[in-house]
Amino acid sequence: MSSLELRNRDRAIEELRIFLKKIFVEPEIISHSLAITRDLIDEENADAIIAQKISDTTNVKIPTEHSDADKLFLQVLREVVRDEKAMY
């Protein structure tokens, strides 16, 4: 693994660590983020719209240029919502 890849991995891990701390302090962030995702998952450019709405309504700030950690968070939200839909 190159030093650039290691730095990128370490940065993503640090971002996820900070995010986890936020949701431990404010666990309602998850249910709120899932509700936003349920409402917007089928929109064109859904990731950008979901990220903006989460940023506007929580203390989780997702920049326009999504980092690897941001992309992972949005991907997990979509997966959870799709899994919910598949169960019903």
pLDDT in tens, 7-30: 988 998 998 899 899 999 999 999
Digit-coded pLDDT (tens) for 24-50: 999 999 999 999 999 999 999 999 999
The secondary structure element, H or E, covering residue 72 is helix 68-87
Does residue 69 surpass a pLDDT of 90? Answer: no
Dihedral (Cα; 28, 33, 35, 41), 10-degree rounding: -170
Is the pLDDT reported for residue 80 higher than 80?
yes
Domain ranges, ordered by start, for the chain: 3-87
pTM, to two decimals: 0.86
Q: How far apart are CA 7 and CA 35, in angstroms?
A: 33
Is 80 exceeded by the pLDDT of residue 88? no
Axis-axis angle for helices 68-87, 28-40 (nearest 10): 70
Percent of the chain with pLDDT over 70: 100
